Amino acid sequence: MRYSVIGCGRWGTFIAWYLSSIGHEVTLYGRESSWHMKRLMDSRANDYLTLPDKVNLSTRMEDAPEADAVFISVGAQQFRDLCRTLRAYGLKDRPAVLCMKGLEIGTGCRLSQVAAQELDPSVHAAVWLGPGHVQDFVRGIPNCMVIDSDDEPTKRTLTAALSGGLIRFYLGGDMIGNETGAAAKNVIGIAAGVLDGMGLSSLKGALMARGAHEIARLIGRLGGKEISAYGLCHLGDYEATVFSPHSHNRRFGEAFVTGTPFTGLAEGYYTAKAIVDLGRQVDTELPICEAVYASLYEHVDVRESIDALFRRTTKREF
């Protein structure tokens, strides 16, 4: 197959590397002004991997829709503008595979909803979600991930085309639950980093149990399956997000509480705002997400946020 990958950051570059490694013809697209793209053009390498010569590099985004499928890995808050650009370039009659996790601030939309609103109706959106870090994959350490789509043939075709020895893909069955859970786990990752930075890592067990429970409740309110919060896209991604030294969101949370500079992208920062707004729209309590939001956006001291969680009225565990 001929595939286009849009987004030349850490994950987009890995996707191009992976798709090429399992035999597909791949072109990786990035903005001419992007320093990530400039570096790849100069050396075909970044901090994580070296692209093989057979992966094409291009800044001509207007050529991307010519591939059999388009894989997208950009910041969630920039996705709507990209969709409008791709529609203007004539993207039709092929899958758009969304390889990022987040919710849109202001609307609370899942990214597949943004795609449905902005792309041509003939484009079937799919999502590629689940645990795994580039640093592990390029060392040959395997993991399990999920492909989901509201279009069953698209989902099955992609799963068959993308499976290899490095990644075992599962067929998703709940776009609401998988997208919401995948976005929310980044907020939980920030909370985990805060605990690490405060020397409270022993609370991570409670964070995982209660975090999955509150996100399951939200998924149910949104019309998804609560059990999805316990699958690969949320709870199954906690090891990579809550514990791994590679997790940008965990590292951001730790840096935030210790006052250490952090220059990477932590998508959970934006998702915290979007998910709290979404929870209020559907009248769902999200105490952990709200505590993260209060510290990040309302400048509430993190110790006060944690104390507030402990002072909540007694609840039944289930």
The mean per-residue pLDDT over the stretch 272-282 comes to 96
- Give the model's pLDDT for residue 318: 79
- Give the model's pLDDT for residue 312: 86
pLDDT category, 265, cuts 50, 70, 90?
Answer: confident
The mean per-residue pLDDT over the stretch 23-37 comes to 96
Q: Which two tokens stand for residue 301?
A: 């001291």
pLDDT category, 228, cuts 50, 70, 90?
Answer: very high
- Give the model's pLDDT for residue 151: 97
Which has the minimum average pLDDT: 125-129, 234-238, 259-263? 259-263
pLDDT category, 313, cuts 50, 70, 90?
Answer: confident
Residues 101, 155, 185, 204: which is the catalytic one? 185
- Give the model's pLDDT for residue 284: 97
* Contact (CB, 8 A) for 215 and 226: no
Does residue 210 register a pLDDT over 90?
yes
* Percentage of residues of the chain with pLDDT beyond 90: 95
Residue 54 bears catalytic tag: no
Fold identical between 2-171 and 183-310?
no
pLDDT category, 263, cuts 50, 70, 90?
Answer: confident
| CATH-assigned architecture of domain 2-171 | 3-Layer(aba) Sandwich (3.40)
- Using alpha carbons, select from 282, 278, 185, 164 the residue that is nearest to residue 230: 185
- Give the model's pLDDT for residue 7: 97
- Give the model's pLDDT for residue 314: 83
Class at the top of the CATH hierarchy for domain 183-310: mainly alpha
Indicate the average pLDDT of the chain: 96
Per-residue pLDDT of 110-153, as tens digits, reads: 999 999 999 999 999 999 999 999 999 999 999 999 999 999 99
The structural domains of the chain, with segments of one domain joined by +, span 2-171, 183-310
Q: Which two tokens stand for residue 39?
A: 């570096």
Which has the minimum average pLDDT: 51-60, 170-179, 201-210, 258-267? 258-267
- Give the model's pLDDT for residue 176: 98
Per-residue pLDDT of 64-105, as tens digits, reads: 999 999 999 999 999 999 999 999 999 999 999 999 999 999
